[in-house]
Structure 1
Amino acid sequence: MNLYPLGKFLIGTVCYPLYRIKVIGKENFPKQGGVLLCTNHIDNLDPPIVGITCPRTVHFMAKEELFDKPVLKTLLPKVQAYPVKRGMSDREAFRKTIKLLREDKVVGLFPEGTRSKTGEIGKGLAGAGFFALKGGEAKVVPCAIIGPYKAFSQLKVVYGEAMDMTAYRERKASAEEVTEAIMAEISKLIEQYK
């Protein structure tokens, strides 16, 4: 059973007015084709906020520990999330991510791998670049969440222009280089709209 549309409606009903969410650049989001959606990470609420503001269904890679919790274990797969073991190469999660991208789905991930304690953008992990290079024709959409998460203060979610990975793939760029390029685009969005 897919609870994504219901979850999007319920969370949106609460969060849009509570955080006065402003979405910028939604028109930049590709209407079809595989998309790797890369976002900075400032709060535990980031995945649902991206989920309600993105025009397409997002399949989130979530840390495996969340799937050990009784309610989340049942709920997360029904909202298109799937587990990844952090701090090690998880072949199953890697395969699933590449498969989703090649099936023209949207995969959401946080390249920093963990929340920023300071709100400042951290260094991205090579996994984002790896998926960007191996995801078939998938494009990369950089996204910036600009907080703080404070009731009735404004939270901005900014979708940047889709990055075409063709040139990087053709010249066999490293995953690290591609991740740096993605993080640079997210940083630009933060600077521009903060």
Structure 2
Amino acid sequence: MLKFLARVFLAPLARLLFRPRIVGRRNVPKEGGVLLASNHLSFIDSVVITLVAPRSVSFLAKSSYFDGPGLKGAISRAFFTGIGAVPVVRGAGQAAQDALDKGLEILQAGDAFAIYPEGTRSLDGRLYKGRTGVAWLALTAGVPVVPVALSGTQDIQPVGSKRIRFARVTVEFGVPLDLSKHGEASSGRARRQATDEVMQAIQRLSGQELANAYNEPPPANVAERIRRAVRRERR
């Protein structure tokens, strides 16, 4: 019910405030499991995708958004639940696999699920190398992958800012990819080749410069220096 209400009330509001340019909505299958694989520029990306997609889309979000105390925690929990967020404990190893398993459950139930193959958002606007979880999900669930390119979301919530700004965004949904030709999910080579195909499709849509490296989150002190530098540039 919350997801239905969010799409009914929040989607028109998002279109009014951010005036999104949406391309290729018909490329998203209307039914059945489908994996949306997107570039990642801002915290707001998941909200934008789920509100402009032609069907309900789920995505993973930090569990802290769901377990806060009091009225503020209740509002946060209702909002993120309403836009299709699924709580996970972030981390490597078993935590990462647990997150993928939740995505797999959603896909196998015949629903749409969104993922960022880069792992974390790009601070410099380049497109980073994809991690193979996207291929594992698609090959294990046997679902198509729709590449998604976002632009402008970095201006809604710039790096280092906690405030939301009004900015025009573009969301482009590409032609669905059938990754089954690469092989089984158990094959590391198949996962790598399939992931590279997904990233190439995203890059063709977004036009981003390729980083040719994995996007590793910077240490806290480095991240803070980046935020300060960005704030100085805006003054």
- Regarding TM over 0.5, the answer is yes
In structure 1, the residue matched to 2:176 is 162
Shift of 1:99: 2.2
Question: What secondary structure, in the 3-state scheme, does the structure 2 residue paired with 1:158 have?
Answer: strand
| Deviation sequence 1:135-172 (CA, Å, 0-9, x none) | 13x11000011114356653110000000122123595
User: Which ranges in structure 2 are unaligned for 5 or more consecutive residues?
Assistant: 157-164, 209-235
What amino acid maps onto 1:25 in structure 2? Answer: G
From 104, 107, 126, the equivalent of 1:98 is 104
Q: How many percent of aligned residue pairs carry the same amino acid?
A: 32
Residue aligning to 2:203: 187
Could you tell which deviates more after superposition, 18-27 or 56-65? Answer: 56-65
**Cα 1:85–1:168, aligned 2, differ >3 Å: closer, same or farther?**
farther
In structure 2, the residue matched to 1:141 is: 146
Q: Distance in 2 between matches of 1:128 and 1:170?
A: 13
Shift of 1:96: 2.5
1:39, 1:186 within 8 Å by CA — same for their partners in 2?
A: yes
- Alpha carbons of 1:133 and 1:39: their partners in 2 closer, same or farther (altered >3 Å)? same
Q: In the alignment, what sits opposite 2:91?
A: 87
Question: Which deviations, in whole Å up to 9, do the C-alpha atoms of 1:71-118 show, x marking residues without a partner?
Answer: 334543444321233331334333222222122111111111211112
- TM-score in terms of structure 1 length: 0.85
Q: Name the aligned partner's letter for residue 87 of structure 1.
A: G
Relative to structure 1, the CA distance from residue 13 to residue 79 in structure 2 (aligned partners, 3 Å threshold; closer, same or farther) is: closer
Deviation at 1:43, TM superposition (A): 1.2
Q: Does residue 24 of structure 2 align to residue 20 of structure 1?
A: no
User: Aligned in 2, Cα 1:129/1:63: closer, same or farther, shift over 3 Å?
Assistant: farther
Q: CA RMSD in A?
A: 2.3
Q: Distance in 2 between matches of 1:73 and 1:20?
A: 26
Match of 1:50 in 2: 49
| 8 Å contact from structure 1 (residues 144, 190) kept in 2 | yes
Q: Which amino acid aligns with 1:83?
A: P
Amino acid corresponding to residue 156 of structure 1 in structure 2: T
State how far apart, in whole Å, the 2-side matches of 1:82 and 1:18 are: 25
CA distance in 1, matches of 2:138, 2:6: 28
Contact (CA 8 Å) 1:42, 1:115: kept in 2 or not? Answer: yes
Greater RCO structure (CA 8 Å; 6+ sep): 1
Match of 2:117, SS?
coil
Tell me the equivalent position of 1:3. 2
Between the aligned partners of 2:145 and 2:183, the Cα distance in structure 1 is: 13
Query: Corresponding residue for 1:76?
Result: 80
The equivalent of 1:123 in structure 2 is: 129
Runs of 5+ consecutive residues of structure 1 not aligned to the other structure: none
